[in-house]
Amino acid sequence: MPRRGFTVKKHWDNPVEHLMPALTRVPAEVRLGAVAVRPATVLAPMAGVTDTVFRRFIRHASFFTHADADASHASPAAKTRPEAYGCTDRDSGSESVAAAISNFESGCGLLMTEFTSADGLSRMREAKRRRYLTFYDDEHPIGAQLFGSKPETLAEAARVVEETGFDTVDLNLGCPAKRVVCSNGGSGLLRDLPQIGEIFRAVRKAVAIPFTVKFRMGWNEQEIVCVELARMAEAEGLDGLALHARTREQGYGGQAQWNWIAAVKDAVRLPVIGNGDIRTPEDAVAMVAETGCDGVMIGRAAPANPWIFRQIAEYTATGRYTLPTGEDRYRMIRAYFEMLMAEAEATKELPRDARMGDPVGKMKQFATWFTHGIAGGAKLRAAIYQSRCGADVLAEVERFFTAQAEPRSGESALNPTLAHVEPVPIDLPAEANA
């Protein structure tokens, strides 16, 4: 069965419908120091989710060009090569969305690692560090997120991140999990701004790569500190901010308060990335319109709808976006599971701490998200949960979709008007999307 905390709700908390405001787009680019994030969309760091396999899966599921918007095509998640996801060659003469609107290669501009303990990183053997900080060339640009409370330890961990080759380093001041907060990490530090200032100074002095921070509005509604914290970050030389527009006390419930993203944007000249309640392309555009933020960060919607970044790129370029078919979902599930198995095979000869481990557990975890929205998906989930090896899981996926009434035509449903996806909401573990 999936890990405790990985349950699926029937509806999002207090969903809000948005239509695309006139003349508003998700920005084509946001610069974090020397790093260009194109387009200005970021995959949020999520514990237990954003490992190297999921990051690459999202990056390649997001490829988009103008040609894709006008042609019937196979699911982007069905392939493993960039060009097979609809990414035309830069030298082919085809006009890319990136020419004026989006990225040359992907609808997702920046990938982020799972959040990693700076204390743990400093104590880890080199082999174990490799597992936590593994990434591949096709993941650039990529940022590593750290949490902790000791300036000197965070500074040393940031140096390790820089030496490993990451493009950015990010400080987590948002995680609401008790075990993190109790050690004065994550959102626990929001009650100690002087300590945050010491951390900012120590990390900024330690590394040359762009240094950013992800934080919440404050501990609770009576202790809102996001504007003051943003000004402090700017004064200490950070390169960008990401605000999850909820308090620590809210956790992931209720409605994100986008007005505080607007307040932070008005208070500083640093790039501001907005986070919270982006479930559809309409939401992403509405956040930019309402807050003036420089980019958007997406967390919980990505495992439920891996096409979200591609859809935002399509919507930005054309005002419409592709809806996944049954064929798309089949190929998406199979592609991700095959990537898990390939990574496990590739790392099996490494020291135990550096191996990916058994992919079956991950398959069962992600089956919870991937199969919702599929008719009879509960049966497939049950079959996957009972499987004992990766080959059995893939056999169950093949068996289920072969029996489906929907033809596996490979055609994607491009709505001539404004297609509206309703990704299935999920509850991640408390620490998953800080």
Q: Mean per-residue pLDDT for 56-78?
A: 56
Is CATH 1.25.40.80 correct for 7-324+422-427?
A: no
- The number of beta carbons lying within 10 Å of the beta carbon of residue 409 is 11
Q: Mean per-residue pLDDT for 130-147?
A: 88
Which range, 92-101, 132-141, 289-298, is most confident?
A: 289-298
Q: pLDDT band at residue 418, thresholds of 50, 70 and 90? A: very low
Taking only the tens place, the pLDDT of each residue in 146-182 is 999 999 999 999 999 999 999 999 999 977 667 777 6
Which DSSP string do the residues of 383-424 spell out, in sequence order? HHHT--SHHHHHHHHHHHHHH-SS------EE-SS-----PP
Give the integer Cα–Cα distance in Å for 46 and 363: 17
Q: Among 20-29, 65-74, 165-174, 219-228, whose mean pLDDT is lowest?
A: 65-74
Which residues, at least 6 apart from 60, have a Cβ–Cβ distance to it below 8 Å? 76, 77, 79, 80, 82, 85, 106, 138
Q: Mean per-residue pLDDT for 222-230?
A: 95
Contact at 8 Å (CB) between 421 and 340? no
Contact at 8 Å (CB) between 113 and 45? yes
Which residues, at least 6 apart from 159, have a Cβ–Cβ distance to it below 8 Å? 206, 207
Q: pLDDT band at residue 130, thresholds of 50, 70 and 90? A: low
Sign of the CA dihedral 85, 131, 391, 379? negative
- Is the confidence at residue 90, as pLDDT, over 70? no
- Is the confidence at residue 76, as pLDDT, over 50? no
Sole residue written with tokens 């919980």? 300
Give the integer Cα–Cα distance in Å for 387 and 364: 9
Q: pLDDT band at residue 343, thresholds of 50, 70 and 90? A: confident
* HEC sequence for 251-305: CCCCCCCHHHHHHHHHHCCCCEEEECCCCCHHHHHHHHHHHCCCEEEECCHHHHC
Mean pLDDT score of the chain: 78
Percent of the chain with pLDDT over 90: 39
- Is the confidence at residue 1, as pLDDT, over 60? no
DSSP state of 173: E
Q: Among 8-22, 101-115, 138-152, 193-207, whose mean pLDDT is lowest?
A: 8-22
- Is the confidence at residue 254, as pLDDT, over 80? yes
Bigger pLDDT: 70 or 49?
49
- Residue 240: the pLDDT is 98
Q: pLDDT band at residue 350, thresholds of 50, 70 and 90? A: low
- Is the confidence at residue 348, as pLDDT, over 60? yes
Contact at 8 Å (CB) between 313 and 281? no
Q: Mean per-residue pLDDT for 245-271?
A: 92
Category of 232 on φ-ψ map: left (φ > 0), alpha (ψ -120 to 50) or beta: alpha
Sole residue written with tokens 């998700």? 26
Q: Among 13-27, 33-47, 145-159, 410-424, whose mean pLDDT is lowest?
A: 410-424
- Residue 24: the pLDDT is 75
In the chain, ranges of CATH 3.20.20.70 domains:
7-324+422-427
- Identified catalytic residue from 87, 108, 175, 226: 175
Token pair recorded at residue 137:
């060339």
- Is the confidence at residue 411, as pLDDT, over 70? no
Asked if 108 is an active-site residue, the reply is no
Taking only the tens place, the pLDDT of each residue in 360-380 is 888 888 887 887 777 888 888
Give the integer Cα–Cα distance in Å for 56 and 344: 15
The upper half-sphere exposure of residue 87, i.e. CA atoms within 13 Å in the direction of its Cβ, equals 24
Give the integer Cα–Cα distance in Å for 365 and 31: 34
Token pair recorded at residue 338:
């095959």
Q: pLDDT band at residue 3, thresholds of 50, 70 and 90? A: very low
Token pair recorded at residue 54:
């999921």
- Residue 326: the pLDDT is 78
